[in-house]
């Protein structure tokens, strides 16, 4: 379960940001998880619960925003959200190859809410 190492990295970043910005207590963290990121949102939540049971992040809420896969057709340029991430026929021209991924690969901390 690589999500534990991802959560540990997120925790490390939060600690660095707390010091950098003089945050007293973190209240909430929002993470954006793209459909193609390779991370499972439920596993990220579980990893957060496991790794924040003690210490300065105990009780901090983790909000995960699932970012859908969005592509632009490589043939006609139509932007669409495919139903399947492995087979993506364009709804306009039925092209299945050469699409440009516009979103869905991301995994990042979007917001840290804290008391200063």
pLDDT at 84: 93
Q: Taking all residues of the chain, what is their mean pLDDT, rounded to a whole number?
A: 96
Section 80-84 average pLDDT: 96
pLDDT in tens, 31-41: 999 999 999 99
The model's pTM is: 0.88
pLDDT at 79: 98
Q: Which residues contact 70 (CB under 8 A, 6 or more apart)?
A: 79, 80, 81, 101, 102, 103, 104
pLDDT at 1: 58
Please determine, for residue 60, whether its predicted confidence score (pLDDT) is greater than 90: yes
pLDDT at 115: 87
Secondary structure string (H, E, C) spanning the chain: CCHHHHHHHHHHHHHHHHHHHCCCEEEEEEEEEECCCCCCHHHHHHHHHHHCCCCCCCCCEEEEEEECCEEECCCCCCEECCCCCCCCCCCCCCCCCCCEEEECCCEEEEEEEEEC
Fold type of domain 3-115? hypothetical protein PF0899 fold (3.30.2320)
Please determine, for residue 91, whether its predicted confidence score (pLDDT) is greater than 70: yes
pLDDT at 112: 97
CA angle 100, 103, 106 (to 5 degrees): 125
Section 59-72 average pLDDT: 97
């Amino acid at each position: 379960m690589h999500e534990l190492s991802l959560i540990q990295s997120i925790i490390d970043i939060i600690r660095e940001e707390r010091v950098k910005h003089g945050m007293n207590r973190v209240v909430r963290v929002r993470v954006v998880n793209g459909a193609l990121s390779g991370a499972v949102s439920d596993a990220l939540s579980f990893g957060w619960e496991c790794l924040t049971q003690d210490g300065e992040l105990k009780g901090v809420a983790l909000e995960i925003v699932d970012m859908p896969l969005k592509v632009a057709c490589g043939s006609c340029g139509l932007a669409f959200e495919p139903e399947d991430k492995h087979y993506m026929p364009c709804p306009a021209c039925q092209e299945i190859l050469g699409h440009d991924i516009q979103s869905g690969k991301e995994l990042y901390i979007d917001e840290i809410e804290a008391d200063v």
